[in-house]
Structure 1
Amino acid sequence: MTNILSFDFGGTHIKYGVVDTDGKIRTKEKKRTPKTLESLILLIKNQLKQYSHEGIKGIAISSPGSVSDEGIIYGFSAIPYIHGPNIKKHIEAETGLTVHIENDANCAALAEVWKGAATGKEEVAVVVIGTGIGGALIKNGVIHKGDHLHGGEFGYMILDSNNLGSGMNTFSETASTFSIRKRVAQQKQIDISSITGEQIFLKAEQGDEVCKQAISEFFHMLAIGLYNIQYIYDPELILIGGGISTREDLIQQLNKELEWIERKIDAATLIPEIDRCYFNADANLIGAVYHYLQKTS
């Protein structure tokens, strides 16, 4: 069995592990994210030595930013030194192994297509909900990056054009978990840092009307965004990722909102098929390996 050393670059930690070509994680660990590119490459080389007995054949990387096929990571992230230089060539020169890099949201989507909730499907949209909204498009079983490497950046969609620049216009601003906190903080006139999403859902269950309304608006705007994605791209399936995806009532609430939208829009002929992502913390490690295998096959 061929093994790949997979890395998931994060702003706080670098996760890494040995993953075989069947997508099984044989071992995994994490370390604090290094402060420099040189230290990052040293970390990678050290892990290669540590796992030398595993017969590592290549290196797969999940990274923030817009990743070109050449190995340059454009954009900005919490790891500023990875943007600019050709990371792929740097690591290949230092290790002597083939390296392939992909955007982290794209890796999460690839994991779902390979071994997760979208196995066997060719046309899939993945919407990752957190402080903002990111995502990925799968077309014919592979990532669709677009001409400017912005394929799947659903968070930029404008859902409310009123008072542009107000901070409540885009999909990210109106349908992320941060948007729930923002609505509650504004209504209660409190500091947004003083309340969490979990607390808001708990208060809503206890009858807090402000929290209930904020959650209702969140589901409504999220459903509008999913409706738009369905008619723009027409995927077989839309998967929801991020911490909110673990809520048991998520799919039920979204389907309720989507059915309401369909009734209101005369031209609407279908309701998106939605589900939650299967993988959570390990998705990027697995998806990075699938991307590697696609590139080397």
Structure 2
Amino acid sequence: MQPLGLIDIGGTSIKFAVWDGQALKAHHALPTPTTKAAFFELVTHEVAEMKQQWPLVGVAISSPGAVNKLTGVVEGASAIPYIHNFPIQSELAEKFGLPVSMENDANCAALAELASGAGKDVDSLVFLVIGTGVGGSVIFNHHIWHGAHLFGGEFGFMLMNDQGTLSELGTAPAAVNRYLKANPTAKKLSGKDLFDLAAQGDAAATKEVDTLYHALALGIYNLQYSFDPEKVVIGGAISNNPQLIPGIEREIEKIRAQVKIASIKPNVVTCQYHDEANLRGAVVDFEQTYDRV
């Protein structure tokens, strides 16, 4: 494939790179502008710089928000309000003088894992991005399932019990908050600190970590028996924790023991790509959007 310009729009920074068919080139990041005018000025300048060095055939963009592939409008909400609710894709294509593709950032990360990462050997997968909340993507037959309202992959809204959603029970920041609420004299700590305390035998920390594992296991179990993907891939900073997969698998086994008819064990793995995932996935989305391989 001929070179593609790549843009990954984030709340604090925007990443730029060029895909030469094999690897990312000229990968760098700049602070996200605070206004729409400054945003257009920045990305137009960066693409013009790319075009001076590479014969770009298009620009592939990873974006927050609910990207409507039919209209080229970023719906929903994000940390960058000015990119929403106008035909941003067509306006960028006009400014760049090139074809432009846009897709949600979690969907791009999932496509990257599907193409050459942790999901490269499957046709279908569920991708969970675990951060301050839980988002993600559903892929069938190598394509994103966006859903009727562009809410495909918004796993964090799933209720895990009468008290909370997956985002409220299955993330490290939420587990830390529960621990600090139950232990008001404890000093502030990170998610890693909480896992370390649990590993050292701290009963209160163990309780909250086990709550996290159980919520994720229950969500994954339900997704397995709803969509039956070949793999469940987990991304986000927590995916770097070597305790994560064993902890989830222990809770899945408890659920399977409770539901004895449940014969399928979800195949849960961590992602391969991290910082590069959104950019790499934007390449896959461009190829699918314009039927280029």
TM-score by length of 1: 0.94
Q: Cα offset for 1:255?
A: 1.3
Q: Cα offset for 1:18?
A: 0.6
Change in CA separation of 1:190 and 1:38 when aligned onto 2, cut-off 3 Å: farther
Q: Cα offset for 1:205?
A: 2.6
Q: Cα offset for 1:72?
A: 0.3
Write the letter of the residue equivalent to 1:214.
E
Q: Aligned to 2:238, what secondary structure does the other structure show?
A: helix
**Map 1:174-213 → 2, pairs under 5 A:** 174-189=169-184, 194-213=188-207
Aligned counterpart, 1:268: 262
Change in CA separation of 1:291 and 1:214 when aligned onto 2, cut-off 3 Å: same
Corresponding position: 1:232 with 2:226: yes
- Of 159, 162, 170, the match for 2:165: 170
Q: Aligned to 1:221, what secondary structure does the other structure show?
A: helix
Q: Cα offset for 1:38?
A: 1.8
Aligned counterpart, 1:126: 127
Deviation larger for 46-55 or 116-125: 46-55
Q: Aligned to 1:128, what secondary structure does the other structure show?
A: strand
Q: Distance in 1 between matches of 2:169 and 2:20?
A: 40
Q: Aligned to 1:184, what secondary structure does the other structure show?
A: helix
Q: Cα offset for 1:253?
A: 1.6
Aligned counterpart, 1:164: none
Q: Deviations over 1:19-70 (max 9, x none)?
A: 1234x11220000001122211211221122222111111111111100012
Q: Aligned to 2:151, what secondary structure does the other structure show?
A: coil
Structure 2 contact 128–134 (Cα < 8 Å) conserved: yes
Aligned counterpart, 1:223: 217
Aligned counterpart, 1:73: 74
Q: Distance in 1 between matches of 2:212 and 2:43?
A: 41
Q: Distance in 2 between matches of 1:86 and 1:36?
A: 17
Aligned counterpart, 2:290: 296
Write the letter of the residue equivalent to 1:66.
A
TM-score by length of 2: 0.95
Structure 1 contact 223–254 (Cα < 8 Å) conserved: yes
Structure 2 contact 6–282 (Cα < 8 Å) conserved: yes
Structure 1 contact 19–27 (Cα < 8 Å) conserved: no
Aligned counterpart, 2:53: 53
Structure 1 moving runs of 4+ over 6 Å: none
Q: How high is the sequence identity, in percent, across the aligned residues?
A: 37
Structure 1 contact 21–289 (Cα < 8 Å) conserved: no
Q: Distance in 2 between matches of 1:271 and 1:114?
A: 24
Aligned counterpart, 1:251: 245
Q: Distance in 2 between matches of 1:30 and 1:101?
A: 18
Q: Distance in 2 between matches of 1:225 and 1:138?
A: 17
Change in CA separation of 1:203 and 1:95 when aligned onto 2, cut-off 3 Å: same
Q: Deviations over 1:117-152 (max 9, x none)?
A: 111311100011110000100011010101111111
Write the letter of the residue equivalent to 2:103.
E
Q: Cα offset for 1:266?
A: 2.4
Q: Distance in 1 between matches of 2:260 and 2:192?
A: 36
Q: Which segments of 5 or more consecutive residues in structure 1 lack a partner in the other structure?
A: 162-167
Q: CA RMSD in A?
A: 1.4
Q: Distance in 1 between matches of 2:125 and 2:194?
A: 31
Q: Distance in 2 between matches of 1:220 and 1:33?
A: 37
Q: Which segments of 5 or more consecutive residues in structure 2 lack a partner in the other structure?
A: none
Structure 1 contact 48–56 (Cα < 8 Å) conserved: no
